[in-house]
Structure 1
Amino acid sequence: MKVFINFTALVGIFLLLSCSSIDRNSGEGTVTKPSNFLISAAIVGGNAQNPNGNGSGTVNFSISATNATSYKILLGNGETKELTNGNFTYTYTTSGTNTYVIYVSAYNSGQFVSSTLSLTVFVGSSLVWSDEFNVDGAPDSAKWGCDLGSGGWGNNESQYYTNRPENVIVQDGLLKIKTLKESFSGSNYTSARILTKDKFSFKYGRVEINAKLPAGGGTWPALWMLGSNISSAGWPACGEIDIMEHVGNSLNKVHGSLHSPGRSGNTPDTSTVMVPDATTEFHIYAVDWSATSIKFYVDNQLFYTFTNTASFPFNQDFFLIINCAMGGNFGGTINPGFTSSTFEIDYVRVYN
């Protein structure tokens, strides 16, 4: 096996594997093992000064072998390609400089040859979607919709979600979700739940949300995501990523959680961190999401890492949700003296 590196307009990493052909006679036909195995992985924008690429994360692959009829490529990040043509382009999305061990096999019926290639790729972080909440009035309808109604929302909650300005408004550079104690359409509390379903969804990346949480026993604010296939797959098969949840009855205890089949309801994959002034100061709640991990942060401090694999539903498009519930299975007992609270969000930003 020989490895050659040639710096041109692209960085090419060539792996040559010489294999002798082996014929297997079965009486009526011959299956020949692939030979002259060649793998080329050219990182877009790579040169002597930037050997790991220009930050796009894009790699042009060219794979060939004499007598091969198909190829299988494990891309080192949990994703797999199965192709009949070995020429394809793939874009890595995990920000930073990461090294991937790529496994490649060339097949001809039951005969095959395999090898590995180590590839280091730089992915620059770029903003792909955001809302800075700088225009007063209702939330931007091009970005957000509203869930409306009551009925407990699967958690025996007590609020009625509305789209009234009394409950949800952009004002003074902030999104404000106001939870009120009032009689409304059969419920004793009102609040709001906005979401990007059918307007924006994404697969993998970093989400940052700068927010100040509401106070009061029974409040249950959340910054979270659901799989875009929820209408067909249902919950929890669609997957749920809770970037931040806070329960007013456990002041300043912030939860980062994931729900999936067998790990839903009261048994999610979860961890917590104490944020001493969560209801009086703004903090950045963030998640870094890739095919191999989901990492939870507060103010850039990592507090939970979940190992993601293809067996979980966290490898598809998700949409964003912001809401404040009252009571329910997680929010708990509502303080009888509660009258109102405000959940304030300065911005939501999604990076590749």
Structure 2
Amino acid sequence: MKNYKFLLIISFFSFLFFSCGGSSSGSSEPVVTTPTNLVINKIIVGSSATMPNGDGTGVVNFTASANNAKEYKMSVDGEILTSTTGNFTYTFKQSGTNEHTVYVSAYNGDKSISGSTKLTVYVIPKAVFFDEFNVDGAPDSSKWGYDLGNSNGWGNNEAQYYTNRTQNAIVSNGTLKINLIKESYQGYNYTSARLLSKGKYSMKYGKVEIRAKIPSGGGTWPALWMLGDNIDSVGWPACGEIDIMEHVGNQLNRIFGTLHYPGRSGGNAYGTSVMIPNATTEFHIYSMEWNASTIKIYVDNQLFFTYNNNANSPFNQNFFFIMNVAMGGNFGGTIDPNVTNATMEVDYIRVYQ
């Protein structure tokens, strides 16, 4: 009996001790539950069966949900967004069609759960340079200058003399017209124009679109092309040359895409060609996509030439544009004496980055 009473007394005082101890330190901290079952949903604005990657605005709506979550954070393209509801709207900025990975974390205090989702989004490229050739008269002098004369055949034994006259280059009815004319001028039998954006605009990487209709006739040699900004200091071909489009009347409807650089220039240039219908009677879109990895050349969105770019090539600097119609020469070939005029029409040039 004595032992029983002793145990009761000990139990009672133990209860009092622990009770007093608990009351002196306050109530215990609440248990924080780690969020679970994180779900990430996304809706690309404008997505449809024909445009699965969106309407080009780049806007995507995200919804994240998790059990016991009180706050959400989303990391996308180097930006951090925070929400208490799990709803986010983000506008992607990288032009073209690109895959992105989005990371989401759900928080309850210092406890969290994380996940990610991938999506492909289309963003309409923004034109950083363009000429729609909608103002009649001489070409826009803020965008275009001229090469003049013959300069010993421009290295190709060409027969034309370039001028800055509106007879040879004029904007009318929504297009730029570069006119090759058979006439006696400054000791030469042909005049034409060679427009260039040198000193006015140049670009490094991006997409170029030029819509043009090119001339026919034996000896005609229209070109839409580019040269490196450093040509005056390093010369050609060290500066690099990108020929987005070349055509010679003696090879009707054959479009050339070519690069010139040290070791691959002149007749040894690196390029290829493609046949298209109605090159001289209809407008076609000649385009290039250029980045640190590749240069791709297209006609009417048909890829026909790819160059694998590298850090040692000259194609990692700014280039300016040239548009011209030459006559004869090493590439233009035999001149048909019956050709009295030939016109390249350019509807627009647009540069996207």
TM-score above 0.5: yes
Aligned sequence identity (%): 58
Partner SS state of residue 152, structure 1: helix
Q: Map of 1:1-352 to 2, 5 A cutoff?
A: 12=75, 42-43=78-79, 54-57=91-94, 95-98=96-99, 124=123, 125-150=125-150, 151-352=152-353
Partner SS state of residue 244, structure 1: strand
What is the alpha-carbon distance in structure 1 between the residues aligned to residue 188 and residue 290 of structure 2?
A: 37
- Conserved 8 A contact 2:293-2:309: yes
Matched residue, 1:23:
none
| TM-superposition CA deviations, 1:139-192 (whole Å, max 9, x none) | 000010011111201111010000111111001101000001111001110000
| TM-superposition CA deviations, 1:190-224 (whole Å, max 9, x none) | 00000110101111011000000011100000000
What is the alpha-carbon distance in structure 1 between the residues aligned to residue 211 and residue 142 of structure 2?
A: 21
| Counterpart residue type for residue 245 of structure 2 | M
Label 1:326 to 1:56 Cα distance change in 2 as closer, same or farther (>3 A): same
What is the alpha-carbon distance in structure 2 between the residues aligned to residue 274 and residue 179 of structure 1?
A: 24
- C-alpha displacement at 1:54, in angstroms? 3.3
What is the alpha-carbon distance in structure 1 between the residues aligned to residue 320 and residue 73 of structure 2?
A: 35
Which structure is larger by alpha-carbon Rg, 1 or 2?
Answer: 2
Count of residues in Structure 1 that have an aligned counterpart in Structure 2: 267
| TM-superposition CA deviations, 1:226-257 (whole Å, max 9, x none) | 11111111111111100000000000000000
| Counterpart residue type for residue 54 of structure 1 | T
- C-alpha displacement at 1:279, in angstroms? 0.3
Q: Name the one with the larger helix percent.
A: 2
What is the alpha-carbon distance in structure 1 between the residues aligned to residue 234 and residue 82 of structure 2?
A: 41
Partner SS state of residue 249, structure 1: helix
What is the alpha-carbon distance in structure 1 between the residues aligned to residue 148 and residue 239 of structure 2?
A: 21
| Counterpart residue type for residue 144 of structure 2 | W
- C-alpha displacement at 1:49, in angstroms? 8.3
- C-alpha displacement at 1:275, in angstroms? 1.2
What is the alpha-carbon distance in structure 1 between the residues aligned to residue 119 and residue 241 of structure 2?
A: 31
Partner SS state of residue 134, structure 1: coil
- C-alpha displacement at 1:301, in angstroms? 1.1
> What TM-score, normalized to structure 2?
0.70
What is the alpha-carbon distance in structure 2 between the residues aligned to residue 292 and residue 333 of structure 1?
A: 38
- C-alpha displacement at 1:337, in angstroms? 1.4
- C-alpha displacement at 1:306, in angstroms? 1.2
| Counterpart residue type for residue 134 of structure 1 | N
- Conserved 8 A contact 2:75-2:81: no
- Conserved 8 A contact 1:45-1:54: no
| Counterpart residue type for residue 158 of structure 1 | A
What is the alpha-carbon distance in structure 1 between the residues aligned to residue 179 and residue 72 of structure 2?
A: 55
- Conserved 8 A contact 1:132-1:347: yes
Label 1:10 to 1:154 Cα distance change in 2 as closer, same or farther (>3 A): farther
| Counterpart residue type for residue 225 of structure 1 | M
What is the alpha-carbon distance in structure 2 between the residues aligned to residue 56 and residue 10 of structure 1?
A: 20
Partner SS state of residue 203, structure 2: coil
- C-alpha displacement at 1:269, in angstroms? 1.2
Q: Name the one with the larger strand percent.
A: 1
